[in-house]
Amino acid sequence: MAHEAKNYDHLKGGALKGLSDSQLDQHFTLYKGYITKLNEIEEKLASIDNTKPNYSFNEYSELKRRECVAFNGSFLHEMYFENLGADATVSAGLQKALDAAGGQAKVLADLKACAMGGPGWALLTRNRRDGKLHTYFVAEHHIGLPMDQDLLIVLDSWEHAFMVDYGIKRPDYLAAFMDNIKWSEVSKRFGA
């Protein structure tokens, strides 16, 4: 079944601090493009000849190489938009994990530092191997995403996420992002 792009218009109209409607609209358009490409790739893979895969070039191999780009590009964006909303409600369980990691300010400072390695994504996760909070940097959409993680905060650090409002000032965008985190959503992910 084809994937359908979600609507995040509720984030517009001043719901977020420091992210304009123009910035958000362009980001929504880009996200929808990933959904379209994911559908296209999955549809082609459903019927393609997989008997001659090849490192240099083969249509099946090329689709397989790009499948994760479109998949992660789609759903990292959904998690990004869904953890925006400027809500300070942190569950007791998440607070305990944040405290164990040195406190919310320290964790966010590390997430911000992580995002400075962009373009790509900075993630706050609960690592299922050690049960602790970790930050990771994912290049593009698909390079460096570690296994066995519960994604808690997903931060888009590609230029398209902030150029309209901030030009090349990535740190200013990251500061705005931190002010817009929907902690109730992060808590929900932590508890899930």
Binding site for Fe ion (CB under 5 A): 156, 158, 161
Residue with the shortest CB distance to Fe ion: 156
Question: Residue 90's beta-bridge partner residues?
Answer: none
Smallest separation (angstroms) from Fe ion to the CB of 192: 23
Smallest separation (angstroms) from Fe ion to the CB of 76: 8
156 or 185: whose CB is closer to Fe ion? 156
CB 139 within 8 A of CB 127: no
121 or 183: whose CB is closer to Fe ion? 121
The distance from CA 85 to its chain's CA centroid, rounded to whole angstroms, is: 15
User: What Cα–Cα distance (Å) separates residue 30 from each residue in 12, 77, 99?
Assistant: 16, 9, 36
CB 119 within 8 A of CB 157: yes
Token pair of 56, please? Answer: 């240099």
5 or 161: whose CB is closer to Fe ion? 161
Smallest separation (angstroms) from Fe ion to the CB of 60: 28
Smallest separation (angstroms) from Fe ion to the CB of 79: 11
28 or 183: whose CB is closer to Fe ion? 28
Closest to 182 measured CA to CA, from 172, 171, 190: 190
